[in-house]
Amino acid sequence: MPHFLHDAHDDVLAFAGLYELWPDPAKAEDDPARWLWTFTILTTQATDALGHIHDRTPVIVPPDMHDDWLDPHLTDLELVRQVLDAIPEPRLDTYEVSTAVNSPRNNSPELLSAVS
């Protein structure tokens, strides 16, 4: 059964991620479509009460740490690890929702309704 996971205060969740811009070697140097944006969302082992839903969870950066995570001058690997280690375990609320969320054809507020 699918679940709706959300912040207890309904705040926006910010996932820790990384991106890179790199040239596609198969395209000509003057091709404007040569540059590719790639990205990833960092995950970690789910150790909170929601670990029964899935064994992995995105690293969720709390609002008071956004500036630290987004600091473009933070490039030292050890300092990046310190920031990651300081991110607290997420505290999310959850409830089961309809399997209608499994189709991208469905898009309505009712998808967030709890099922009984």
Q: Give per-residue pLDDT as tens, 42-73.
A: 999 887 667 888 889 899 999 999 999 999 99
* 89: pLDDT strictly greater than 90: no
Find tokens 């280690």 and name the residue. Answer: 85
pLDDT at residue number 7: 86
Domain residue ranges in the chain: 3-112
- In the chain, % of residues over pLDDT 70: 98
Per-residue tokens: 26:
């198969």
Per-residue tokens: 13:
């969740």
Alpha helices in the chain (DSSP H): 66-70, 77-86
Alpha-carbon span 51 to 82, nearest angstrom: 24
Confidence of residue 91 (pLDDT cuts 50, 70, 90): confident
Q: Whole-number mean pLDDT of the chain?
A: 92
How would CATH label the architecture of 3-112?
A: Alpha-Beta Complex (3.90)
The tens digit of pLDDT for each residue in 75-84 reads 999 999 999 9
Find tokens 């967030």 and name the residue. Answer: 112
Contact 73, 57 (CB under 8 A): no
The tens digit of pLDDT for each residue in 13-32 reads 999 999 999 999 999 999 98
